A = this chain, B = another copy of it.
Amino acid sequence: MTVLVVLTDSSTRNEQQQAAALIRRSCGEVREHSPSLLSTVSDLAVVDRAVGHLPQVRHVARVQGDYPRASVQSRMGRPSTVALGEAAFGPGQFTVIAGPCSVDNHDQLMEVGHAVRDAGGHALRGGAFKPRSSPYAFQGLGRRGLELLAEARRVTGLPIVTEVLDVRDLPAMLPCVDMLQVGARNMQNFALLRELGTLRTPVLLKRGLAASIDETLMAAEYILDGGNTDVVICERGIRTFETGYRFTLDIGAVPVFKERSHLPIIVDPSHAAGETARVIPLALAAAACGADGIIVETHSDPAAALCDGKQALPTSRLPELIDGVVNVARVAGRTAGPTMSERNDRQRELVLTGDPAGTVASARVRWR
On whether the beta carbons of A284 and B277 are closer than 8 Å, the reply is no
On whether the beta carbons of B289 and A212 are closer than 8 Å, the reply is no
On whether the beta carbons of A256 and B250 are closer than 8 Å, the reply is no
On whether the beta carbons of B241 and A210 are closer than 8 Å, the reply is yes
A43 at the interface (CB under 8 A from B): no
Query: For residue A341, which residues in chain B have a CB less than 8 angstroms away from its CB?
Result: none
On whether the beta carbons of A241 and B240 are closer than 8 Å, the reply is yes
The contact of A242 among B213, B219, B285, by CB within 8 Å, is: B213
A54 at the interface (CB under 8 A from B): no
On whether the beta carbons of A135 and B166 are closer than 8 Å, the reply is no
Task: State which residues 332-361 of A face B: CB under 8 Å.
Answer: 332, 359-360
Contact with B along A218-254 (1 / 0, CB 8 A): 1101100100000000000111111111011111111
A310 at the interface (CB under 8 A from B): no
A324 at the interface (CB under 8 A from B): yes
Query: For residue A219, which residues in chain B have a CB less than 8 angstroms away from its CB?
Result: 133
A281 at the interface (CB under 8 A from B): yes
Can you name the residue of chain B whose Cβ is closest to the Cβ of A168? B360
A328 with B288, Cβ < 8 A, contacts A185-B188, A244-B213, A248-B250 known: yes
Question: How many copies altogether?
Answer: 4
On whether the beta carbons of B248 and A252 are closer than 8 Å, the reply is yes
**Complex: how many Å from CA A350 to CA B243?**
41
Can you name the residue of chain B whose Cβ is closest to the Cβ of A250? B248
**Would you give the shortest CB distance from A122 to chain B, in whole angstroms?**
20
The contact of A239 among B188, B225, B241, B360, by CB within 8 Å, is: B241
On whether the beta carbons of A238 and B242 are closer than 8 Å, the reply is yes
Residue ranges of A at the interface with B (Cβ–Cβ < 8 Å): 31, 41, 65-67, 131-137, 165-168, 185-191, 194, 208-210, 212-215, 218-219, 221-222, 225, 237-245, 247-256, 259-260, 272-273, 277-278, 281-282, 284-290, 324, 327-328, 331-332, 359-360
Beyond the given pairs A135-B194, A185-B188, A189-B189, 16 more chain A to chain B contacts, judged by CB atoms under 8 angstroms and listed by A's residue number, are A65-B134, A66-B137, A133-B188, A166-B167, A166-B191, A185-B187, A186-B189, A239-B239, A244-B256, A249-B251, A249-B252, A251-B285, A284-B289, A285-B289, A324-B331, A328-B331
Can you list 21 A-B pairs, Cβ within 8 angstroms, ordered by A?
Answer: A131-B188, A165-B191, A167-B168, A186-B188, A186-B189, A189-B189, A208-B210, A209-B209, A213-B242, A240-B240, A240-B248, A241-B241, A244-B260, A245-B252, A248-B250, A251-B285, A284-B288, A285-B288, A288-B288, A328-B331, A331-B331
3 nearest A-B pairs in the assembled complex, by CB-CB distance: A210-B210, A166-B191, A185-B188
